[in-house]
Structure 1
């Protein structure tokens, strides 16, 4: 059990706490999940404002409230913490509550419109086959080594995310690979996490129902790279017209990959057919089970990330050559009479 002052460390507006030594049982942002002794975060969502549930949270046993507006007649028995963004505070508090698990393994995040699930899945499979204990957080499923945990969002909420990372650390994971959606970046679901590396695949005109404009969508992705520490690497697709934009303000070590551009990590498609891909990657010709030029980019980015994480080139290419991609991401079957069936629900 953590003290309130420990959980609130680093949160803007949390200095001068009324009861800094108060023990906190849990962090909660859903009033239906409040338990006695918890710290409740009044997060403003896209449809619901957590401030309307503050009284309900207190009735259910919350002993401290993080909010953006304190009620007119605040309960004097409650510790009130006013901050500019309750969602930002939640990310920091969740990392504090679980002992900053992301700093105890090597966490790599993958963002972009397309390819996130395949890249994260390939990284997880690759490093498992290289002998490491690993975790994965993806749209399809979350995994801790061989254990499968159902996924409900591309990127979980900060509490669930830090809890999963904590479990990975407890089970000895060396690496964790996760999808980082633009929604998660804007909603501060990854606030408080310490990334070893960040990867950008591509960006197209999707999710404009949430971001409203394409510029806002690009800005959301770029924020992920802007916030990286100088100890991390930032790997971007130089063939995407916005690939270089991601690196403009990052403190991380900048690296690029591409099939067409003069990048740090280069590949060339030699053959592309339903039997697989023959690629020349950094002067090595390798046959892969995956098909399509989009998977050439996915494979190249995974190879580049592995190199940046200090892995052996020959071992990486050997393992990658025998891996399949993510379930439901351009899976294909060829019947005896050469009829091709494709399953893709991305």
Structure 2
């Protein structure tokens, strides 16, 4: 591919006829004829390796400052932004070949995107999905490492979706993906804002920085569907310039859920918009899921899918792995696995489950290592609001001392009267929760959800699937 066709009208080069064999921002992947893009990261600046990359065989380098490399350097204002444009061009601009629908927020992204994709597929449209758990092309599942893939991988998977005939691509859009410009020149027809609560403050300096990162999505969309039950959602609704609709599970919004009924087997509610209302029945429980469903329905109705089709699709939706997922036990108590790993998410899942718990509500949780330590005591306080008993344990301790993490967590339980047990090893903690469970109790295993691994010291990943752990623990009873 010619260099001029890759950089298009985004930069000027004197060697536009050069044949480019590959594009990369990774020094390890540079080969003869590569176009190397210099990205300045937290620990390494690609500009420092530009000369070496030319010596290694790169045809040209893209940089933000004059490196004295003559015609073989292409100067641009922002190499991260340019890298997105280069990747899009390299793959033939797949972002232009499908309708993009995005969901951002701290909690609810996975369920909302999953429901949107399910409805679109049910309506007969082949749809791709990019998300936390996995990427999907129609019914094909692809492994993923990041909620929003890195730029090259993102455009590559979009290209595969377009080639497979997908009309839509639905994606979770993370704050990392927006800040690091991973989505390139993508533009979204509709974007959803679910909520914003404390998370990722190890990366974002404060909540304002986190909010501004999420807000970036609404500069590149045609229409916004915004949750005004959330404080930041109300603020966002007043600040976005695109077409906008508010949604709520409390009323007083453009779109709202009314007559909500929550059971352990699912929920029902009236979806209300203007002078129209539709009875919605779903197999997934929880008020927070009513909110997610309300947003997803709004997106699909905006796409012109008949209301009857949308409602029927929702009734046939079985939920997402690791999101309020019931793990079969064959016993007289219930075990639920949920990805809740922020204070707000823990509070939401426990509040919801508490409504149909006949016995005690037992919550097992921990906090990740090398992550925002300020949320650890807040996690404990959130869990103590609704749980009748807590089991405090580990959750991906990484390179931190698990017991030190737990000490941070326990600060949040000071002044509360909720009984708790500390079992540092998560497997043993789950066994313990199963042993103390009585008839009618519900155990919520919070934090892991769909994950089937633990990250231990040295960043070692070990296999750890809570469904398997529960099955093993039941054999010990």
Q: Give the alignment's TM-score, normalised by structure 2.
A: 0.67
| Residue of 168, 182, 200 corresponding to 1:175 | 168
| Residue of 57, 60, 65 corresponding to 1:61 | 57
Aligned length: 336
Q: Distance in 1 between matches of 2:219 and 2:168?
A: 22
Q: Distance in 2 between matches of 1:68 and 1:224?
A: 24
| Residue of 307, 320, 323 corresponding to 1:329 | 323
Q: Which residue of 1 aligns with 2:287?
A: 293
Q: Distance in 1 between matches of 2:320 and 2:48?
A: 41
Which has the higher mean CA deviation after the structures are superposed, 148-157 or 239-248? 239-248
Q: Secondary structure at the match of 1:52?
A: helix
Q: Distance in 2 between matches of 1:179 and 1:56?
A: 37
Deviations 1:44-77 (A, max 9, x none): 1223222233244223321111112333x42x4x
Q: CA RMSD in A?
A: 1.8
Which has the higher mean CA deviation after the structures are superposed, 314-323 or 281-290? 281-290
Q: 1:50 to 1:269 in 2, by over 3 A?
A: farther
- Alignment of 1:215 with 2:220, yes or no, is no
Q: Distance in 2 between matches of 1:91 and 1:249?
A: 26
1:92-241 alignment runs, 5 A limit: 92-228=85-221, 232-241=222-231
Q: Secondary structure at the match of 2:102?
A: strand
Q: Which residue of 2 aligns with 1:29?
A: 25
1:69-88 alignment runs, 5 A limit: 69-71=65-67, 73-74=68-69, 76=70, 79-88=72-81
Q: 1:190 to 1:245 in 2, by over 3 A?
A: farther
Q: Distance in 1 between matches of 2:19 and 2:237?
A: 42
Asked if the contact 1:225/1:247 (under 8 Å) is kept, the reply is no
- Alignment of 1:42 with 2:38, yes or no, is yes
Q: Distance in 2 between matches of 1:241 and 1:197?
A: 21
Q: Distance in 2 between matches of 1:149 and 1:177?
A: 14
- Alignment of 1:279 with 2:269, yes or no, is yes
Q: Distance in 1 between matches of 2:198 and 2:337?
A: 23
Q: Distance in 2 between matches of 1:336 and 1:213?
A: 45
Q: Which residue of 1 aligns with 2:418?
A: none
Task: After TM superposition, give the deviation of residue 10 of structure 1 in Å.
Answer: 4.3
Q: Distance in 1 between matches of 2:44 and 2:219?
A: 29
Q: Distance in 2 between matches of 1:227 and 1:246?
A: 14
Q: Distance in 1 between matches of 2:100 and 2:323?
A: 23
Asked if the contact 2:186/2:220 (under 8 Å) is kept, the reply is no
Which has the higher mean CA deviation after the structures are superposed, 134-143 or 277-286? 277-286
Asked if the contact 1:102/1:195 (under 8 Å) is kept, the reply is no
Task: After TM superposition, give the deviation of residue 95 of structure 1 in Å.
Answer: 1.6
Q: Which has the higher contact order (CA 8 A, sep 6+)?
A: 1
Structure 1 residue runs of 5 or longer lacking an equivalent are none
Structure 2 residue runs of 5 or longer lacking an equivalent are 339-447, 450-477
> In proportion to residue count, which structure has more helix?
2
Q: Distance in 1 between matches of 2:309 and 2:142?
A: 29
Q: Distance in 2 between matches of 1:270 and 1:334?
A: 27
Q: Distance in 2 between matches of 1:107 and 1:35?
A: 33
Task: After TM superposition, give the deviation of residue 144 of structure 1 in Å.
Answer: 0.8
Asked if the contact 1:100/1:193 (under 8 Å) is kept, the reply is no
Deviations 1:245-300 (A, max 9, x none): 33445443211211114222110253212111111112322221111111111111
Asked if the contact 2:106/2:197 (under 8 Å) is kept, the reply is yes
Q: Distance in 1 between matches of 2:177 and 2:232?
A: 20
1:229-268 alignment runs, 5 A limit: 232-268=222-258
Task: After TM superposition, give the deviation of residue 36 of structure 1 in Å.
Answer: 2.0
Task: After TM superposition, give the deviation of residue 35 of structure 1 in Å.
Answer: 2.7
Q: Distance in 1 between matches of 2:57 and 2:121?
A: 43
Deviations 1:122-158 (A, max 9, x none): 2122211221111110111011112211001110112
Q: Which runs of 4+ in 1 moved over 3 A?
A: 247-251, 333-338
Q: Distance in 2 between matches of 1:267 and 1:334?
A: 31
Q: 1:149 to 1:341 in 2, by over 3 A?
A: same
Q: Secondary structure at the match of 2:323?
A: coil
Q: Give the alignment's TM-score, normalised by structure 1.
A: 0.92
Q: Which residue of 2 aligns with 1:7?
A: 6
Q: Secondary structure at the match of 2:125?
A: coil
Q: Distance in 2 between matches of 1:265 and 1:179?
A: 21
Q: Distance in 2 between matches of 1:219 and 1:192?
A: 19
Deviations 1:174-221 (A, max 9, x none): 111011000110101123112111111000011111110111111111
